[in-house]
Structure 1
Amino acid sequence: MFLSRLKPTLFRISTKLTLAYSLVLILSSTLIFSFLYFQITRALEGQEKALLESKLEEYRNRIEVRGLEEFREYFMYIPNYDRDAALLVQVLSPTGETIFGHEPFPSFQIQMNLVQTEILKQRASTFSMQLPEVNGRDSVLILVKTLKDGQRLVVAKSTESLGNQMRNLQKIFWWSLLPVSLIGFLGGLFLSNRTLSPVRELITSIKKIDGGSLSTRVQIGGSDDELEELKLLFNNMLDKVEGLVSGLKEAFDHLAHDIRTPVTRLRGRAEIALTSEGDLETYREALQSCFENSDKILNFLQVLTDITEAENRSKRLKLEKHFISDLVREIMELYEMAFEEKDIKVHLNLDSHDWALVDSRLISRVIANLLDNAHKYTPSGGEVTIETINQTESVILRVSDSGPGISQEEQSLIWQKLYRSDKSRTEYGMGLGLTFVKAVVEAHDGKVSVRSPGRNGIGTEFEVFLQKMS
């Protein structure tokens, strides 16, 4: 039971960061201590060896200048507290026999036979070696020097004091490792909590959002680190999500309104035909009205399907070389009478070399939507200009009108599904025309933009960029 509760805690990021910080601090402390321990050991060993070498040189000079008898008398009367008393000193004959010997105080023992064997092997005048004590846990540093008459002077010193210093140093390290570990744990806990506090804020916000509060935002601090950037991105994402949800709600309201109207008319005419005893002409008109309204619904749903296919690029385009001016003229033949009835003057400035690789069926519908939009919002007596501009790698289709224009706030919204700038909905429309235009143009790897007011300072101007090569 305890382990099952402990397991989630162990796998939390804060716990991992705390343990990692503690481990790094302990390992780095151990490495630093090991390096310092090695350097101190080498320095102390070098100091011990230098001291022994100075004594070896002093004894050699004493023997060669004053003689061996004086040297023997020196060690005979040396007090135990003197430094020299702690040294093992021997003078060996060229054949390895002991001529003089001084036992150290405090006493330590080594295997002299190993020393004598090594002395007989060595050809160097001075050399050093190290052997373990016979009844101790430390080693003995031994220096050997050849005298003028071939005798060998041996000076040895126990490294017990050095070993005690190193063991004390190790104890200090192991005792100091406990507070270091505690500092590492507390420091890791503090840093992990401080570092992960923005993440916890994100988690809290996400839980609130999961509960339905889309207005929740993460508080932004004053730092410029990656987590602050993450919070900014998170808030921006929430703004977009909230906008999309709001737009979706509004779109469903518009969708319900646009479908309800023809369905209501269809049902009303059908109900009248069923409840009244009319002649054949009355039934024919009722069926005609039902057909027209159902056709509006089907057309509405078909446009939605076409937009989705274009946005997802799930439908393969039939790209062929077409002159955009030819497509414009074909569509203008259909809209010419509508423009005349509204007394709108249309100016055509078409380039004769404005070809591009397009799906003519879809681009014709794009042109038709732009012309329908211009006809709808241009007042009587106004003007509409249609231009094509041939460029090296692309063709520009520009449709300008002299209508009331589009506000800056709405220019980014007009491309959304079911958006209607006419909030009163006095003008009939599905709110899908410009959405369809954008989806189809981008499916052609082109782009569409709007400018309001236009270049002449009035109305609205739409520009479509189409690629010559896909």
Structure 2
Amino acid sequence: MKNQLLEALHEVWGSVAFRLTLNYSLFALSTSLVLLAFFYHQTVGILESQFSRQVATTAQRMSAHFDQGGLPGLTNEINLELADHVNSDTEMFLLVDRRGKALAGNIQPDAVLLSLKEAGTNHAVILRGRGAHGYLVARDLPDGSKLIVGHDLRDLHEITQLIKRISLVATGVTALLVLLGAYLFRRTLQRRVEVIRRTATQVGAGQLKQRIPVQHRQDEFALLTHDINNMLDRIELLMNGVRHVSDAVAHHLRTPLTRILARLRSALRPGSSYEELKNSIVFLASEIEDLAKVSEKLLQIAELESGTRRKKFEAARIDVIARDVVELYEAVAEEKQASLRFSSAGPVCVHGDPDLLAGAIACLVDNALKYAGGAARIRVEVAQRAGQAMISVIDNGPGILPDKHKRIGERFYRLNRDVPGHGLGLATVIAIARLHDASFELRNAEPGLSVSLTFASPAMRAQEAPA
């Protein structure tokens, strides 16, 4: 039983939520105690000041009666004060003559009282035959007699004791509430954290489709849930992409490797002529070059997705880059009897890697020339809309069926197997777009196809990029 209790206490104390709540609660409790102590001392000080003023006023009034009526008049006034039963149980008076004989009053004289000076002091006295503690002020009268006026501090003592008891009770209740609140807060926080931990455990076990349930309350945990779910979506997408790439690579490498192996075995047969060996070597070199190109493309996509190329970002004129690409492909377009035109509303600048941007535009133009057919009309347009840079490659070819759009950009996916290629061009373009925080949009131009890259970051001023 003892061990179980210790384990439970250790578990509670090991909770960050419990310790955090307890620390803040103890800080609040300490602050409350400081304020309570300040209130206590201020209250006691005010009461003591009130008593001292009351006693000083009474002493001054009695001295005035002595000035008017002498010692008999003062004696008579003291007797009247004690006989009116107004505060008579707390008022203290003592009038003694020059020989120390008591003439009037309700406290018993002693040597200490007779030696009091005019400054007020707290002193124990005998009031009506019982012990009391009072605040006393002495006045030496002109005829050698002495007047002592005071006030019983019993009320002040009772008030201070009451404040102390209330403070102790309040401190105890607050401490219990602090512990209870820390425990309840730990329970509440633990339940919400446990949901996240359970989802993380399931995802770690391979259940990539698991997500944290979304709460209706828009608090910090809701924001954290949103961010974690977005991260899990991205992880699932990347893992699916890795699996797809692995399957696709295995599938696409198996065929050329099989051809290479078959050609090698054919070349190793006895009696192969020089021409046969030469043709086999040329064929093998071509196949290996294709494999090298595929590997290079895959490595480039992996490098783009890692984000390391962002280190080479600079201000770049996207209109100048697109114009240079169009000029580069004009000869190819003429050879295919296609029309390739470029248009730009003016200088448009972005922050990015000029070489990668040129490669993406070149890939889009190359695809348009491949798939648009003979006598195609291709336009490369650069514009700036709502402060964002946008580049579009539009052709008048057959376009792509809407149900095929979602597969565009998958590695090794090809719409037309008769057209040379590896199915990695648009995958590279999409990777470049993501690296530059740009969106890739594919839509039918009716007729033809329009492919656009829209950069999320605002376009830069033309002066910031070289022409």
TM-score after normalising by structure 1 = 0.74
Deviation (angstroms), 1:294: 0.8
Match of 1:115 in 2: 116
What is the identity, as a one-letter code, of the residue corresponding to 2:421?
A: G
Q: Which of these residues, 447, 450, 456, is aligned with residue 460 of structure 1?
A: 450
Contact 1:215 1:242 in 2 (8 A): yes
Q: Which of these residues, 83, 89, 95, is aligned with residue 93 of structure 2?
A: 89
Residues of 1 paired with 2:183 and 2:429: CA distance? 56
Deviation (angstroms), 1:296: 0.6
Match of 1:20 in 2: 23
Q: Which of these residues, 428, 434, 448, is aligned with residue 436 of structure 1?
A: 428
Match of 1:373 in 2: 367
Match of 1:52 in 2: 55
Deviation (angstroms), 1:230: 1.1
Contact 2:95 2:104 in 1 (8 A): no
For structure 1, the 5+ residue unaligned runs are 120-127
Match of 1:247 in 2: 241
Residues of 2 paired with 1:104 and 1:366: CA distance? 109
1:6-55 deviation line (CA, Å, top 9, x unaligned) = 66753421221342254145324423432442343244334534553564
Residues of 1 paired with 2:189 and 2:279: CA distance? 74
- Do the aligned partners of residues 242 and 143 (structure 1) sit closer, same or farther apart at CA in structure 2, a change above 3 Å counting? same
Q: Which of these residues, 254, 258, 274, is aligned with residue 252 of structure 2?
A: 258
For structure 2, the 5+ residue unaligned runs are none
1:411-453 deviation line (CA, Å, top 9, x unaligned) = 687456x26264x96755333213434556788x795743412
Q: Secondary structure at the match of 2:116?
A: helix
What is the identity, as a one-letter code, of the residue corresponding to 2:112?
A: Q
Deviation (angstroms), 1:375: 3.2
What is the identity, as a one-letter code, of the residue corresponding to 1:329?
A: E
- Do the aligned partners of residues 203 and 173 (structure 1) sit closer, same or farther apart at CA in structure 2, a change above 3 Å counting? same
Deviation (angstroms), 1:385: 1.0
Residues of 2 paired with 1:73 and 1:464: CA distance? 106
Contact 1:17 1:192 in 2 (8 A): no
Match of 1:204 in 2: 198
Match of 2:215 in 1: 221
Residues of 2 paired with 1:84 and 1:451: CA distance? 101
Residues of 1 paired with 2:132 and 2:408: CA distance? 90
Contact 1:385 1:399 in 2 (8 A): yes
Contact 1:386 1:397 in 2 (8 A): no
Residues of 2 paired with 1:365 and 1:373: CA distance? 12
Q: Which of these residues, 310, 313, 338, is aligned with residue 309 of structure 2?
A: 313
Deviation (angstroms), 1:224: 1.4
Identity of aligned residues (%): 21
Match of 2:380 in 1: 387
Q: Secondary structure at the match of 2:380?
A: strand
Q: Secondary structure at the match of 1:27?
A: helix
TM-score after normalising by structure 2 = 0.74
Match of 2:228 in 1: 234
Residues of 2 paired with 1:347 and 1:148: CA distance? 125
Q: Secondary structure at the match of 1:461?
A: strand
Residues of 2 paired with 1:4 and 1:52: CA distance? 63
Contact 2:78 2:105 in 1 (8 A): no
* Cα root mean square deviation, aligned: 4.8
